[in-house]
Every structure is written in C-alpha cells, then in structure tokens.
Amino acid sequence: MSTAGEVIRCKAAVVWEPKKPFSIVEIEVAPPKAHEVRIKILAAGICHSDEHVLSDDLKATFPVILGHEAVGVVESVGEGVTSVKPGDKVIPLFIPQCEECRPCIHPRGNLCKLNGIETPLGLMPDGTSRFSYKGELVHNFVSTSTFTEYTVVHESSVAKIDASAPPEKACLIGCGFSTGYGAAINSAKVEPGSTCAVFGLGGVGLSAVMGCKAAGASRIIGINRSKERFPKAKELGATECVSPLDFEKPINEVLFDMTDGDGVDYSFEATGCTDTMAAALASCNRNHGISVMLGFSPALSKISFSPALILTGRTWKGCLFGGWKSKDAVPKLVLDFMQKKFTLDPLITHTMPFDKINEGFELLREGKSIRSVLVF
C-alpha cells in the first residue's frame, strides 16, 4: 500500500489512567520492524477483560490502547514476515504462537512466552512501542491493541483468515467465543452424554454452553443471577437454567440435588468471581468431576478451599483462549463458522461506530450487552 514504510496518523481510543474513560485522539503508528505486521482494524469486540483494565482489576502500563478481539487487513509487513502479506484479512492474537518456545511446542501448551499477560509491559518484543501521541510513548495491550484504526503486532500474534469472513462477526473468534467454546472442547474434553454446568451466561459462558452442546453433552445447566440471559442460553443449547437467588442453600448443593446427589461431570466458571469459582468446583462430581476456570478475577484476589474437595479425585484447572494454539486454530475456527458449524449472531447484541466506544463499555457495565462490536 502507499503508506508502507511511513508513519500513519489515525484515530485511537487511549486510556491515560485507570478508572477514566477512553479518549479518542490522533496518534502516530510507526511502520512495522522486522517480523512485525501493521494492520488496519475493521471491527473490534468489547470484552470484559478490557473493562478489568479500566477498573484497575487487571494490570496494564499506561497510557495504553486496549482491545484484543478484532478482524483487520494487513497494511504492510516488516522484513522477514512470511505468514501474511498486505491485503490479507487477519485476526490479531492476544495469545501469540511463536512455534519455538516450550509452551508452543508442548502438545498441551498454548501460553507462548511472547505473551503480554504475565508481564504486561505494553511493548513490542524488542522493548519499544509503535504508538505515540504528540511525541509521548503509548503502550500496547496483550500483544494486540485493537481499539485503534491501525495497530502493529509481532508476526507470532496474527493469523490469516478466510477473506470472505464478515469482520463484525468473526472478530469474536479472537477472544470471547474461542475461550468459552474451547474450554468445553479442549480443556475439559466434554464427553457425549455428560452433564455440564456453566456459571455465568455472558459472552464467554454462552460460548461454553455452545461448546458443551457441540461435544454432545446431554444436560447443560446454565447458572446466572439474572434470568434475562436464560432464553438466550436455551437457544444456544442449555437444557435448563437456574438462579442462585431462588434458593436458600448454596448453588453447589442445589446442583447436587438436581443430579440425584452425583454432581455434574463438568463445570465452567465464566464470571471471574472467586466465590463462584469455589462453587463451580464444589458442584462437580466428587471423584471424576472436572471444573474449568475461565473468568479473570481482580489482580489481588485470593481463594481458599478445603483440600477434601480435590483429594477425592476432582480436577480443577484454568483455561486461556480455550486451550487453542492460536495461529493453528483461529483460521480453522473461522472456516467452521463460515461452514455454519456454529453461529455467532446470538452473541452480538450491539454494533456501533468506533467513536461510540465509551457507550459500548457502559452497556457492558450495566449488563445490557453480551457482545458489542465496534466497526471502523
């Protein structure tokens, strides 16, 4: 493109400090260096993990450009890039896949050592940034930063997808959908005929419901305090839904009653609340039950539980990005979507222009949206 090798000036939503709204300003985006890719963003989803940064529950380095769930088109590439070229439609990857480090090579690993989650410095692998505002450095977020018209990512953090995929829908494969769906398919390995419970019926939880259904679970129990999500959950595969507010006893005891004292085979926690994590663990079968944590909890959260909960054989595990190896899995998931093996439409409640980003986050905080998608 004509802008290759040049600094691009474009609009971006910058957060200057925690607990402050986004400011849409004109930033400068430097050209990609070796093994880097500059992307023009077409659509970006609003994920609760971004809200956790705004509320200071998830650490980032400020000023920062958030966003990590998007579809874009490659504008230019740096020296040595071979996996994508200008004009390719792509999804940025907040969990990179360098294909060289131990987690990438291990058959069960996906937390590449180039990830920006464990050490949120907000910089490229070479220790610099491609974003600036009036000469001041602006940080990136988990290897991606998609709340901007243009972003730069390392080649390990981008995957080429089907050119015909609709950006305003396929962007959900960059985080929310893949996280919940993969938790059932990959992390838990839900078996046909099994009983599952999904705690939290937001975008990730509803995607877990879809994954349980795709895996052949015969009973899928959705748990949510508000009953407004129950019809959507049943549309996507839940066989029944319950609210903890309707019972005097703990919800894990309710689930044991509902399963004739057996507990569920698989439970999924998608709220980030530590009390809910403990309840999800306690709700699964004492011996062979598997409980998977999906939700991000505040940075200083702690959890305590009786060792007896796992001594009898329960498995308790966490899950990032659905356990998928990102560069390998994302193109295949997009193809599955294009072949109508699953739907994303029910998860998208609002579509709005990029400059309405603060309104989109307000809908999220008020519980009025499942996924809001920003279009550029």
Measure the CA–CA gap between 148 and 70, rounded to whole angstroms: 10
The CA distances from residue 41 to 45, 77, 123, 167, in Å, are 11, 15, 19, 9
What is the spatial distance between Cα 88 and Cα 326, in angstroms, rounded to a whole number?
Answer: 17
Q: Is residue 167 within 8 Å of residue 39, measured between CB atoms?
A: no
Instruction: List the one residue out of 75, 258, 231 whose CA is nearest residue 151.
Output: 75
Cα–Cα distance for residue pair 312/324, rounded to 1 Å: 29
What b/e string do you get for 180-209 counting C-beta neighbours within 10 Å, with b at 16 or more? bbbbbbbbbebeeebbbbbbbbbbbbbbbb
What span, in angstroms and rounded, lies between the C-alpha atoms of 192 and 344?
23
Rounded distance between C-alpha atoms, residue 113 and residue 116, angstroms: 8
Place of tokens 């890719």: 37
Q: How far apart are CA 111 and CA 97, in angstroms?
A: 8
Residues taking part in catalysis: 47, 49, 52, 68, 175
Residue 250 CB burial class (10 angstroms; 0-12, 13-18, ≥19): middle
Nearest to 32 by CA among 96, 95, 75, 87: 75
